[in-house]
Amino acid sequence: MSEPLRFLNTLSRRTEPFEPIEPGHVRLYTCGPTVYDFAHIGNLRTFLFEDVLRRTLAASGHRVTQVMNLTDIDDKTIRGAAAEGISLRAYTDRYIEAFFADLDTLRVERAEHYPRATEFIPQMVELVERLSARGHTYVQDGSTYFRISTFPAYGRLSGIDPDQVRPGARVDSDEYEKEDVRDFVLWKAAKPGEPAWDSALGPGRPGWHLECSAMAMTLLGESLDIHTGGVDNIFPHHENEIAQSEAATGKPFVRTWLHAEHLIVEGQKMAKSLGNFFTLRDLLERGHDPVAIRYLLVSVPYRQKLNFTFDGLHAAAAGIERIGNTLRRLAYTPAATADGALAAADVDVAIAEFDAALADDLNTARSLGAVHSLLTRINQALDGAGIDAAARARVDAAFARVAAVLDIVPVRAGRSAEDEAIDALVAERTAARKGKDFARSDAIRAELAARGIILDDTPHGTVWHRKS
């Protein structure tokens, strides 16, 4: 991608050209899941935005070091483990495993690091000690709090007015409302029935906000290029991360903050009580294709609310099918020998438009528009004089780019062992038919049908596809 990247930075509220601190290397921190339940599709929308971000950075020539934390200790995980009467580790292991399974199903690339909060307790304690040494904390009833009045920049990210902070008022819960700006807890005193660590701060456990600051700075350094999350992380979570980190180091914590908007379902807020709350499993059980789910969740630019509807999911499935059908049709049509009906230069224009859309604060809707315009041109050319080898090579490059960044091409580059086995059987059937061994050719067709593989005998050979 030659287009320079631009992002709308939540901190400056402006669209800015992107340049990493270290040329060519992006340090990216993404708030990961709190592993107390299965991720819902709103969470997954944010993780997919971060996947497209990561892939866009890579496609534009950057090396990416991404850290995604796993919050395996906070109010919610402790409550969940206690309700089931099992250890925090056993409880969170279950949801960490499920989380990675969901990422794989949705083709999300792995980050470089997935730190578990419970494995970074010494670094968290050390960060609180640094804050204490600089006069930003106080202790009350065995818990250590961050004193907001010592950090004048508090509120810059979320637009909170720091004057509304009542000095000395404290909050102990990990999550609270915007109206509730108070000194927040860094280290919580041990309570009966809760896990606790012995430390220089006394027996206790970290607050959720502290976890991210400590893991981000340990693994990525004191100043990061990009920090992402959902809009509901802006306050208090990210505001508190900035306060803790910058008060300790005296350096800017993050250059660019990116936040994904909410997902709503059929126009309503997603809520278990409304019966419109979906995990990935719920959708797979209803028979929806994971690639279509990915397509739908990436199709709306991350800064816009995404209205998830089942009509939208069917439309996404149709979009995927259109890509698959066009690529299959292309694969089984010999290249035009004379000049084809599609110019290689026109394909390059489509690739440039795809790249330009993503470079524009990840405008995925516009990039998908470029993909569909190209599909139309390809089909028109195949209906007419065909596509010559030079244009074919550019089309292959275009879909390699689409697969690398949006990853919504139904058949992935690099064929599976099963695909190879099917190809071998199809080739054997073709040979059997040539040799008039119809018993064998029918047996192969039946065997493939039993595996959900449909064969179409075309003038250019036999084409197969999976039954949808």
Give the residues lining the site for Zn ion (CB under 5 A): 31, 212
Among 268, 237, 238, 227, smallest CA distance to 9 is for: 227
Q: At what angle do helices 364-383 and 389-405 cross, to 10 degrees?
A: 150
Smaller CB distance to Zn ion: residue 216 or 336? 216
Give how far the C-alpha of residue 280 lies from the chain's centroid of Cα atoms, to the nearest Å: 14
Q: What is the DSSP letter of 36?
A: S
Shortest reach from residue 296's CB to Zn ion, in Å: 26
Contact 174, 208 (CB under 8 A): yes
Alpha helices in 63-207 (DSSP H): 75-84, 88-105, 121-133
Shortest reach from residue 10's CB to Zn ion, in Å: 14
Helix, strand, or coil here: 149? helix
Smaller CB distance to Zn ion: residue 132 or 228? 228
d(CA 185, CA 136): 12
Shortest reach from residue 236's CB to Zn ion, in Å: 11
DSSP 274-323: GT---BHHHHHHTT--HHHHHHHHHHS-TTS-EEE-HHHHHHHHHHHHHH
Contact 126, 213 (CB under 8 A): no
Smaller CB distance to Zn ion: residue 31 or 53? 31
Smaller CB distance to Zn ion: residue 46 or 364? 46
Shortest reach from residue 418's CB to Zn ion, in Å: 39
Q: 99 — phi, psi (to 5°)? A: -65, -45
Smaller CB distance to Zn ion: residue 212 or 280? 212
Shortest reach from residue 227's CB to Zn ion, in Å: 8
Shortest reach from residue 124's CB to Zn ion, in Å: 13
d(CA 43, CA 33): 8
Smaller CB distance to Zn ion: residue 189 or 212? 212
Shortest reach from residue 207's CB to Zn ion, in Å: 11
Smaller CB distance to Zn ion: residue 53 or 378? 53
